[in-house]
Structure 1
């Protein structure tokens, strides 16, 4: 019984620590949304003199709630959605009167039909319906011909875009660089965890590594979103558009990194199987996996340096990634014939595949040469 309060206290402390970690990494979007919504409200009330500019902060929050890289498109959708909802609500309320069940149903039906007919996405469709419903139930039109609510939505969308622009003004590529570093560091750490689990024959640790590997797809998606966001930020900065070419090279690399993540997931699955055999694992396997982890770190550093415009540094990291990846393949290749265990053979194959995709990601134009160097390191005859 005495252990129960201790466990509860530990769980609460763990929950607080998790919440603190989330706030530490997510404070910027919180301040960004708060500042944009407040600024939109002030502009609509103080500058334009609108009495109840609900849609100004609402539109700002909706636009900022979208993923970076889609905000210009979403801002246009939100404004059009509000306009459609306001138009339908005005017409229906004048015809049927405010507040009745028939009015509510008719407004929602016509608004959704209109949005679908114009090919609206889910965000625009919902925003149009909510705008119309708000006008019918909460604030019925007063017969004024001035489109206050449409203007409020325009103000909110414009403020949201301006805040996004200011946040990324000095370093538009910084969020993408940070995402690159986090993704490659996590993938390298995962390979280190697999190596440690196999060294110790620890099935529980191997299973934990496999669960982590299954979550790496979210990191790759984060990289893709980061490229979209950086592209939007650069397009909004006329003087920085010359950097868009760097994004194209990173975009090509992400495809290969996606393949590498899948290979590591297969490798982790084979590691679980191997750990269940309860046989000694050759120490060279752990060495190979740690070399591969170092190659991942160097590849991430190369991409980050390339995005920062440090070409010489990027080339040096790419060279180190090449050396570490080939060393991993060479070390793993020495294990062929030492055992007939199928999981071990699968891991060796995935080391080779991961090295190929990793080096192709760092050097997209060196496709054939990468394959030749990796197979040479493995001891295979040239094609």
Structure 2
């Protein structure tokens, strides 16, 4: 990368991601102001801290999940405060107990990764830097509630203004990852690389979690739409995507079986046919186009959605046609299994973007494969 490459990349990231930066800054500042003016706490550290933690966790989540995060953060602060008051600050036993209880509570409400670390750091702050005073008023707990409430309000306001945006992003991310799995399998088979094939299989096994997040995203978007009377007309789009997710779930399962057969094929002494990689990359392109079709449909861009759906149809049929050309006598069982899964994935993918009715999709896919009509 040249010396101007990184600044351009950074500028591009800020251009597309300035909203979360502004939202986090405003939420933390508002939480600080409310805690100092309403509660009168001179050092309300946990108000802006809780706002930042909750906003990071609650954005795009269902309302119930977001409330659980707020209560988890505030409850963790309260538990840590009480333990420090009971056992005294600074001791090893206090540090152990506070971190254990705080992180356990955070995990119980579903926090992971960065949020768990933030919870532990907040607990350490209570133990080491700012142990509680003798006051019976749980200022820090109140501060955390204020910060969490501000973050919750901010996240819901953002979702109410653009209720489908988190779901659109999740759709694109899920389909891009599934396409990446197929491309990874193709690369592994082209190189006759067993470790790479195993890595692609592991990635395919993780796609179930992405599908579950898609389902949660549909529910969260539905709640956001019901909170916004003017946008309830978009509920129909959600129903369409919800029915598509069922077919995408089938496609994910097909790709997982395909990846498993790819590992077996990579272990055989003979390399895979070159056209197999071509077919898998065509199928990956179909997956990407299908994701863009669903995203455009959610955004109400019908003509663009139709264009992406047509490209998904073309790429999927090309994948089936190329794979079908490899279906000749004497082929190994793993290769035959991959050809079958290319067909099954194409069918579920095209049904998911509603290119045609089920019977018509099945007929066109089988015709591309060279099978006689039913």
Give TM-score, length-normalised by structure 2.
0.70
**If you compute each CA radius of gyration, which structure gives the higher value, 1 or 2?**
1
Q: How does 1:358-373 map to 2 (within 5 A)?
A: 358-363=349-354, 366-367=357-358, 370-373=361-364
CA–CA separation in structure 2 for the residues paired with 1:20 and 1:254: 34
SS of the residue aligned with 1:160?
helix
CA RMSD of superposed structures (Å)? 4.8
Q: How does 1:139-158 map to 2 (within 5 A)?
A: 139-140=131-132, 142-143=134-135, 148-158=139-149
CA–CA separation in structure 1 for the residues paired with 2:367 and 2:373: 7
* Contact 2:182–2:284 (8 Å) recurs in 1: yes
**Corresponding residue to 2:203 among 207, 215, 225:** 215
Task: Decide whether aligned partners of structure 1 residues 315 and 210 sit closer, same or farther in structure 2, where only a CA change above 3 A counts.
Answer: farther
Unaligned residue ranges in structure 2 (runs of 5+): none
**Corresponding residue to 2:228 among 216, 235, 238:** 238
Residue correspondences, number: 354
Task: Decide whether aligned partners of structure 1 residues 80 and 368 sit closer, same or farther in structure 2, where only a CA change above 3 A counts.
Answer: farther
Pairwise CA distance, 1:304: 1.0
Pairwise CA distance, 1:355: 1.2
1:49 aligns to 2:49 (yes or no): no
Aligned twin of 1:304: 295
CA deviations 1:126-154 (Å, max 9, x no partner) are 979x8799499944454456x53443222
SS of the residue aligned with 1:215?
helix
CA deviations 1:163-194 (Å, max 9, x no partner) are 32454454332343233234334433554554
CA–CA separation in structure 1 for the residues paired with 2:332 and 2:90: 74
Task: Decide whether aligned partners of structure 1 residues 214 and 97 sit closer, same or farther in structure 2, where only a CA change above 3 A counts.
Answer: closer
Task: Decide whether aligned partners of structure 1 residues 365 and 138 sit closer, same or farther in structure 2, where only a CA change above 3 A counts.
Answer: farther
Aligned twin of 1:354: 345
Give TM-score, length-normalised by structure 1.
0.69
CA–CA separation in structure 2 for the residues paired with 1:363 and 1:66: 33
Aligned twin of 1:249: 240
CA–CA separation in structure 2 for the residues paired with 1:280 and 1:221: 30
Aligned twin of 1:203: 192
CA–CA separation in structure 2 for the residues paired with 1:381 and 1:324: 21
* Contact 1:274–1:344 (8 Å) recurs in 2: no
**Corresponding residue to 1:228 among 207, 216, 220:** 216
CA–CA separation in structure 2 for the residues paired with 1:150 and 1:381: 70
1:71 aligns to 2:60 (yes or no): no
1:187 aligns to 2:178 (yes or no): yes
Aligned twin of 1:40: 31
Pairwise CA distance, 1:45: 1.6
CA–CA separation in structure 2 for the residues paired with 1:136 and 1:47: 27
CA–CA separation in structure 1 for the residues paired with 2:90 and 2:219: 47
* Contact 1:235–1:241 (8 Å) recurs in 2: no
Q: How does 1:1-383 map to 2 (within 5 A)?
A: 32-66=23-57, 68=59, 69=61, 70-79=65-74, 121=109, 134=126, 138-140=130-132, 142-143=134-135, 148-168=139-159, 170-192=161-183, 194-195=185-186, 198=189, 201-204=190-193, 207-208=195-196, 210-216=198-204, 218=206, 221-222=209-210, 224-225=212-213, 228-229=216-217, 231-232=219-220, 235-236=223-224, 237-239=227-229, 240-271=231-262, 273-274=265-266, 276-279=268-271, 281=273, 283=275, 285-363=276-354, 366-367=357-358, 370-380=361-371
CA–CA separation in structure 2 for the residues paired with 1:335 and 1:138: 69
